[in-house]
């Protein structure tokens, strides 16, 4: 039964990635073709190591949902352009890239919250001495470090791909802030749920 649950996850994930890849190739959108390739590599690496990492199925679904959010972000058109550029609500608008809140920022916050939870899972299941606030901090910093790799990738895309929507310095810094916020909020919520379950 467990294998069938994972099979459903793999089929749905492969389905939207295939659709996204075909769509972006037909649209000649090299930026998102690269993104789909990166998502395939990330999800493939995570899914193929489940026997060792023992990530719970719900965490894998959360990660796969991020992939779907990313594909939709580049494919769905809105009044602001693609969904990634969509301005959800003007909490802070200082012009240009300095706008909060955008769909892109929500996706960043969501993803690195999921990454922090998965890092926490690895630390607590693979190292018996990992516990308390130290492992929570390590999970947050791990998530932030991985998010920095994402920003480096976006920078490389910005300087090599003519048609891109990466944004400038302010956008990168705002992304990092949302990455950190997502990791912190997710870990606090996750540890609270674990504490209540143990209690």
pLDDT, residue 3, reads 62
Percent of the chain exceeding pLDDT 90 equals 64
Read off the pLDDT of residues 141-192 as tens digits, 9 standing for 90 and up: 999 999 999 888 888 877 777 666 666 778 888 999 999 999 999 999 998 8
Please give the mean pLDDT across all residues of the chain. 89
Helix axes 103-126, 57-75, angle to 10 degrees: 160
Q: What are phi and psi of 78, to 5 degrees?
A: -135, 180
Q: Where are the domains of the chain?
A: 1-75, 77-199
Read off the pLDDT of residues 85-98 as tens digits, 9 standing for 90 and up: 999 999 999 887 78
Q: What pTM was computed for the model?
A: 0.89
Of 35-39, 62-66, 94-98, 194-198, highest mean pLDDT: 62-66
Which residue carries 């922090």 as its tokens?
116
Has residue 42 got a pLDDT over 90?
A: yes
Burial environment of residue 141 by CB neighbours within 10 A (0 to 12, 13 to 18, 19 or more): middle
Read off the pLDDT of residues 123-136 as tens digits, 9 standing for 90 and up: 988 876 666 788 99
Cα 182 from Cα 190, distance rounded (Å): 12
Which residue carries 């009044």 as its tokens?
79
Lowest mean pLDDT among 54-58, 94-98, 113-117, 168-172: 168-172
pLDDT, residue 36, reads 93
pLDDT, residue 170, reads 82
Residue 195's pLDDT band (boundaries 50, 70, 90)?
confident
């Amino acid at each position: 039964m467990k294998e069938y649950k994972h099979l459903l996850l793999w089929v749905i994930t492969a389905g939207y990635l295939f659709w996204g890849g075909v769509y972006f190739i037909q649209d000649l959108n090299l930026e998102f073709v690269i993104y789909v390739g990166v998502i395939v590599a990330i999800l493939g690496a995570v899914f193929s190591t489940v026997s060792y990492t023992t990530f719970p199925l719900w965490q894998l679904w959360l990660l796969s949902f991020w992939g779907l959010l990313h594909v939709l972000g580049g494919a769905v058109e809105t009044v602001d352009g693609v969904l990634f550029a969509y301005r959800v609500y003007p909490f802070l608008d200082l012009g240009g890239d300095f706008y909060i809140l955008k769909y892109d920022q929500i996706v960043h916050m969501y993803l690195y919250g999921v990454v922090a939870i998965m890092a926490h899972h690895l630390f607590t299941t693979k190292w018996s001495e990992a516990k308390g606030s130290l492992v929570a901090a390590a999970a947050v910093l791990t998530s932030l470090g991985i998010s920095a790799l994402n920003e480096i990738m976006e920078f490389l895309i910005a300087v090599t791909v003519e048609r891109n929507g990466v944004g400038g310095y302010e956008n990168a810094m705002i992304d990092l802030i949302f990455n950190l916020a997502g990791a912190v909020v997710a870990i606090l919520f996750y540890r609270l749920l674990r504490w209540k379950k143990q209690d």
